Structure 1
Amino acid sequence: MSKEIVNAKMKLHLVLENINDLVAILSSSFPYTVEFLNETQWKKVLNYSEDDLIDNSFLDIIDEPFLDQVNNILRSKKEYRELEKDIRLKTKNGLLVWFEIKKSIYMDNIERDKILIILKEISRFKELEEEVRNSEEDLNTITKSIPEIKFWRLFTPKKYEEALNRSYEMLELVINNIPQYIYWKDNDLNYLGCNSNYAKLIGLNSPERLIGKKNSNIFTNIEKIDELNEKEREILKTGQSTYHREEIWDVSNNSPMIIDINRVPLKDLEEKIVGILVSFQDITEKIEKDKKLRESEQKYRNLIETSSVGILELNLIHNEISYINPKLIEILGFDKKEKVTENEIKKYVPIHDLKERVQSNENKKLEFKINDNKGELKWISGKYVNHYNSEGELITLRFWLEDITERKKYEDLITELNMNFLNFSTEIQDNIKTLLKTCKKLLNADSVVYVSEYNKGKQKFFQLLSTENNKFSLSKDEFETGYFLNNFFKKNHDFVQYYNIDIKNIKFSKTDPFIKNHLYSTAFGKKITSDDTSNSIICCFFNEKLEKSAQNQLVLFLIADAIEIEQKRWKATQHLRKQNIRLHEMDKLKAELFSRVAHELKTPLISIKGYAELMKILFSENLTQEMISILKSIEMGCRKLERIVNKLLESSRFEQKKLRIKTRKANLSMLIKKSIEEMQGFAKSRNHTIESNLHKNLILKFDEEQIHKVLTNLISNAIKYTPPGGIIKVKSEKYDSKIIISIEDNGIGFKEEEKKYLFKKFGKIERWGQGWDVDIDGTGLGLYISKKIVDLHKGKIWMKSKGRNEGSTFYFSLPIVN
């Protein structure tokens, strides 16, 4: 098949599927079988598909009164005449539709006759003709009976007819565009009309197709048909309208829907019932939303009923409490299930004060005190939410309240402890005394005693410390046989312990000074366990019986924990003190070792260097070139080793704090220029350029010899760690009361993890074997010594580098001293 034929067929298909008329090709002889049709339009207008009509007779869908007429049209060898063109076809649902038919005869590609028919729907025109005919008949009847009207009709201005037509058009537009479904019937329950919504609902393309039909032509459910007919007959019988009735409609090809339906009898001018008007709307979605809303409200109600927070709602319109949940009833000191009146609630909740606070637009956070139903003081905290009506008027207040009494007590306790901690000193024993006094105050105790055990040699002793500043030690035997406090040490746990002391019968009444002198009746305390074998206790004495409360236990636990922290701090301090002494001794030994090794190295180094120079002088005429080269290497090695030894000695002097700087007024600019000049040879050997941007005169007080070491070290490092062909920039800046010197290079730079090794002793970063053309010699002492020198001048030294191969800049600052 050629491309042109394919394109032509595609174009033909597009045209046929997009025209409004129905097109079909039939066989040329009876029974006129359908061979082709434009399915889209046939399905849209008559609800037929190709499967319904292809290879079936076209006459099967013709309305019976028109069969002969259509048969004659198809049998005729002539084109169909204009006067005989109107016929009526049946839809798949059994409805009747008017069409204008046109017929042509043509021959197919194998020269067979075919019939082409084109059907144009004219139902609307037919209905209008019927309406006009009916109107004319009614008008003729009236004009015959009342000649005056007939005469008046002849002179009715045309504008009134136009206005009436516009009103009908407007009414039809409104009916077809409102969201409700509307239909109307006569007294025999025949459909007289409907709006577009209802037509679409029952599967019709236009409202006109419904006219003359009954419910039995629309619905398939017999029970539903009988039910609808019964309800509509009831309206026609009683003449009473019904409004907003909920019903369920099950329309074919649609899911069942819940509707809100109105049925109204239609009456003429004589109040005679002539039909019924029905309107309804789909409320399925609304019903589902209402159902979900009710479920959500129930869940919310269950949530607030079981909430751990008290909830109170005030109705400001009626000035009453509209809701209170069980938790708030419990907070107010009542039983949860107890019925509490509004007046009772108002006794304990300051409703008037709460309303005033809200109206004054204060912070929405609340905190107030109440006395509950049992007479107990309670702290209440919470917040409120405003609810407004559609006019923006405040109508209700909802309060979310919780009992924070315990939290308030704990806050006071923590505040007291924090104040004590702020007053703590480095003396552990003074801190423990402060904690004992705090414990006595918070528990309202008469005395608080702290006992700790310790070893002295092979013997165990107990040290006692009280809030009355009594401090003494006892041997193990003295403490265990003569003091009531030993009872706390006997327990193998650190839980809180209560004791009621019977003065008359207790064996310690004569030996224990705390009981003998003060006649205490209650003891309340706990054991404080340590990581090691030693333990301690804290005990509170009372002259009256103590109530066992959670708050009292909490106070004791917190004080005991604070004492335990102090004990650990004391042990840690003792350990650190010993370690510091040991480290100091090791540093001292190390410094002495460095100094001694350096001195021991220096003596043979001087001999080697001296003998090498002596050989060159005494035997210069007898030395070969190779011998001279060896002696030069010996000299170079000696100089290198000499520099290392000098740095070791210098760092050792720094550590032993033996180095003192000698400052005097001098020109720092001149010293920098001198240092650059000394480094020029080294720089040229590596093909570097040194640039300087210095102030002409920088007069400061400094040690020229030591600062010269710093400059030489920083400049030589820049030369060493920059590949050949680099640029080194030396710059001076004045900033506030100091001079800043910077040495910048474009060398290999530093990674972030390498920076931490700078300025530390032996903090050399390995550069060997990484492919850079740089000098790898060094001891890792140069920057360390430079920092020490700058520190002695009360200056600072630091470095900046963006990373590898980004270069680096070293800075040091010196103060300007007047």
Structure 2
Amino acid sequence: MKNYLNQSKVMSPLQELINEKVSELIQILDSDLLIHYINQQVHINLLGYEEYELVDENFLNFVQDSQKEKLEKFIKEGFDDQKDRELRFNLKDKYDNHYVVRGKISYFRNKFDEQRGLLVLTLIDSVLKKDCNKKINISEIDQKYDSLINKLGNLFFWGANDSIFIMDQDKFIEANRKTLDLFGLKNKDEIIGRSPWDYSPQKQLDGSNSKIKGTKLINKALNGKPQRFNWTHIKKDGSPFQAEISLNAFKFEDKSFLQAIVRDITEKIKAERRLKESEEKFRHLFENSPFSIVLLKPNGKIIDCNPALKKLTGYAKEELIGLYYTKVPFIKDDIIPTLKDRRKRFLGGETLTPIEIEIVKKDGKKIWIEIESTSVDVGHEHLIQIIAHNISDRKNAENILKEEYKRLLELNKMRKDLISRVSHELKTPLMSVKGASELLLLSHNEELNQETLELVEMIKKGGERLTNLVDNLIDISRIEYNKIQLNKSKTDLVKLIKETADDMKFFLKKRELSLNLDLPNSLKLNIDNFRIEQVIANLLSNAIKNTPPEGEIIISLKQNSKWAKISVSDTGIGLTDEEMDRIFTRFGKIERHGPGLEFMDIQGSGLGLYISREIVSLHKGKIFAKSEGRHKGSTFKVHLPLRRQN
């Protein structure tokens, strides 16, 4: 996935999990309509396509020909005006069947400010299958689609009422539209890559230097201590505003990032100041404040609350005045001990940070609110002021993220366990198939006619291929569970390369290829000879498969002060830049077909180079590929350290 979700690697797993869980087709396109991401399993189930068949392909290649020109113009207009578009068109599956789909494309920009389109489609009906009697409820599809869009919208955090941005250390790397509005910015170019103090005065209200104070708060949050504080910011036009900031760290792939939620509290702070100026001004603000406010005596008895509280809880002022806070009907029993402790600490002079609690409204609906406690003098009376506001949308988004992350971990464990169990269960019957076919060929070849011998040979070769695949799957399982143990010993790498090359002579001859070895007399290393032989065999096997008849393969071994350098070069089909990015990934098999490529052996699982990379990595070495491009051959290099590595 080449959009921001993968490029930043901040939210990718959660996004991908949700995308894979839904039944809709989800794609992310760039402004040239190239596909950058799909939710693969849904595409396989509904259309038969796997990821490698769609990613980097033009979206219009899979649209009915008569609709391409109109649809291309319609979608590209959206990239210009950034307005969502409703779509309905015919989509081709892998088997050239046509399906009516409907959905929406929403536009956004990634961290590099590249335009992207989020495409969500619902399969309605088959155009060609006339016997399809299923009645489609369009209303239900629309409702399900809207629900999905809302869910994805929350995760892209565009719909949040608060300013939300993501930071890498002290640099902005993503921000929602509310952030742009809050700071008076036109686009994210004006904030991405900048620091918080670039939009702050030199000094805060307490006289502290903004950069120094901000750096300290960021470091505390990165060290696992969430920060909540007030801050003076400056808009683009130079006007200051007061903000309440919640700063939390989260980790992804061992790197810490910061999420900040910023709320403009300028009006809130002004309200608090005016409350202290006079009872008359206080009453006016109290009654008209958008925030829910409750006034308590120091003993905890409610003496007043404003109209906003009724909107929040459903309870009228008359139902609450005179009650002690522990008897308020919308407060759940399990939160009472916490509120008692906060009141005690507040009366003891402690400044309390806001807390989030769940309440039950008069109509029985549960919502989340954030409450903070301050002191206020009304007339000659010293009171406790409780200010509350609804944070249910934010909590729901947080809960979705937590739940999906938990499911991601569970699914990942299930996948690992399944690969491990299935691989080991297949091992024994495959050995039986392979052994039985070899026995028939060796001991009963004279009793069998030519056609039967050919069938047995097919069984033998198929068994060998399946055995290799199972062995690779078992290796992957061991890699993921960190169970590959290297059995190192002093090994002559020259001898190992020669023996591996000898094992491949039959295939070289069959493919009419020449093999040249450029090796020293001897070079001994402390390695796992079985595993390094596996790496060399993989590289040589790939060279044989991808080199045309009468081609040449060269294996060389050099050394410098630090490394033993193995090189496997061929005069074969070569690699593109995109293919080199993919070949060392799991199942990173490159499918290439067409005129002039008939010589290629396309068999294989795409696991060999991934496993080779892991083996070399365990040896503290490096493996990489080079190629000038298509039909210009390729070179695979393995560097192994000369010194002993623990």
Q: TM-score range by the shorter chain?
A: 0.3 to 0.5
The TM-score, its normalising length taken from structure 2, stands at 0.45
Larger Rg: 1
The TM-score, its normalising length taken from structure 1, stands at 0.36
The one of the two structures with greater contact order (alpha-carbon pairs below 8 A, sep at least 6) is 2
